[in-house]
Chains A and B, each alone.
Chain A
């Protein structure tokens, strides 16, 4: 029987949520982020591709989408940091009958803005967006995207036909971006009723037409909260930045050993700073030269520098997947990533130096961060 440990975070603590192919884990520290306690595994044996923390409206709620290989996916929540979880009986994210589709995986859970505390979004496979307006009790398909004329022609990437990233514009309530592999970036400016592509200038290396209307294999997009029109993009070959919310993209693969990779994150306070972990190629999806290097730009992609202090630089053939690189919101930024080989690394100085927090976890598929809310009101 698996021995499940628990953590008891307090207000102001740092929380890491780590999803793996065989369960989820929590790591907590005080705001110094020097020492960490580990909780889990939660949902042992289940793949957990999506985790989120909802600290809005007095909540301290974890969301997880445990996926049983045989028996499907149910969205679960916990108001006591994983000690107990909501009912797992009823499949709460369901495709309507007329779609003929069946939920395969939840890739992303995105609580919406603070001023709409009962709204959440979920990106799923087959590629679709779901929305909840009652704090996660009921979920409905966002028809505007499902009915988009491109959608029947989207093709699955190696990870499946997934809508893997949801970015909400913090200043424009009606604007949202989603990223789909393999389709590209789509943007709504009317709260999800209509969508248009937002990946002009992003190259599709693997297609005869290198700049198709859609079909780009976008691995990750990351938006800066204080400058929401700036988004960085890690493509299936290619690194890009937009400063106009996706109307145009600039190639920023300057000084990287490879522009292939999955994970991407932005610094919480500096929109010119972003992080990636380049991989050698789509044929050999491992860190180049057996060196585990996080590349950081501090000039919006004009140049990238390798961050190696504390990271293995010999025989380290590692893979960091699309949702396994994250930053926190603390004043001195924390940066975190997990590998397919089950190693979890943390930096509390903006990526300059690194510490290994865990080794021997199952393959890590997502890493999410939160600062635990201080006040606890009546959650609903």
Chain B
């Protein structure tokens, strides 16, 4: 019931009540859609380039294996490709795609071309949150004789 300008009360029809409720629901739905569109969960894509450094330009890299983990459940792996300095396409479990953990490994029989600090692989990630936590562990790096050597792994953001 509403009050008219003259101060008398007027009963609202059911149709008016229903249209009011419908309008309210429509506004609520629109505001929800707009807030989702502007939320920080909008996925962004990032490229990480991984480098294995043997510490010497003379040292040859014949094989490497590393594990990458995103521990905050804020990103998933969506693609893996070879690096610029390692000719072989890396091996990985296809189950790792759309997951947050992957083991990447490759070997080459042409190790004379891979010396020093090598860009071995590139990972493409889809981040669903602004605060992903990346962790990478070098499992093994070996020279042309198949002997594990001391090496470090690092990553930078690619283009």
Q: Do A and B actually bind?
A: no
Interface residues of B (CB under 8 A from A): none
